[in-house]
């Protein structure tokens, strides 16, 4: 069995550690969104799919983000779509979008915390 060079292994572990932290932050944001009174994934999808194509691609994602005062980099937009795209067609259908936006964990503890504040 061969080992990776130490510097490569260290960088790989650092990358994976950052990915885990990023995933935790994303999950927290999904949970916060899910307890909002206006939470409606179908409406969210329609808002991003402003062209009515029944999918989210880099073009309508970019349009949505610009409308929200973000100036996205095209490579990062593609990275987002690729991360969430399950069938590899470079766009998100409604099911892929919902799977990506729905919290993985039960958000009831967060709701109770919000109500207590």
2: confidence class by pLDDT, cuts 50, 70, 90: confident
pLDDT the model gives residue 110: 57
Please provide residue 99's backbone torsions phi and psi, each rounded to the nearest 5 degrees. Answer: -60, -35
| Mean pLDDT confidence for 48-61 | 96
Residue 106 has pLDDT above 90, yes or no: no
Q: Mind listing the pLDDT tens digit for each residue in 9-52?
A: 999 999 999 999 999 999 999 999 998 999 999 999 999 999 99
Q: What is the mean pLDDT of the chain?
A: 91
pLDDT the model gives residue 1: 77
DSSP 8-state assignment for residue 90: S
* 30 and 101 Cβ atoms separated by less than 8 Å: yes
* 85 and 91 Cβ atoms separated by less than 8 Å: yes
| Mean pLDDT confidence for 60-81 | 96
């Amino acid at each position: 069995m061969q080992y990776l060079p130490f510097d490569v292994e260290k960088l790989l572990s650092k990358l994976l550690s950052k990915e885990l932290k990023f995933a935790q932050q994303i999950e927290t944001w999904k949970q916060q969104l899910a307890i909002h009174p206006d939470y409606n994934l179908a409406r969210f999808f329609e808002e991003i799919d402003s062209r009515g194509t029944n999918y989210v691609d880099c073009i309508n994602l970019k349009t949505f983000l610009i409308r929200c005062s973000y100036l996205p980099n095209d490579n990062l937009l593609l990275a987002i779509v690729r991360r969430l795209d399950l069938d590899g067609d470079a766009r998100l259908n409604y099911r892929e979008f919902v799977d990506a936006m729905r919290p993985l964990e039960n958000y009831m503890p967060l709701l109770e915390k919000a109500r207590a504040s």
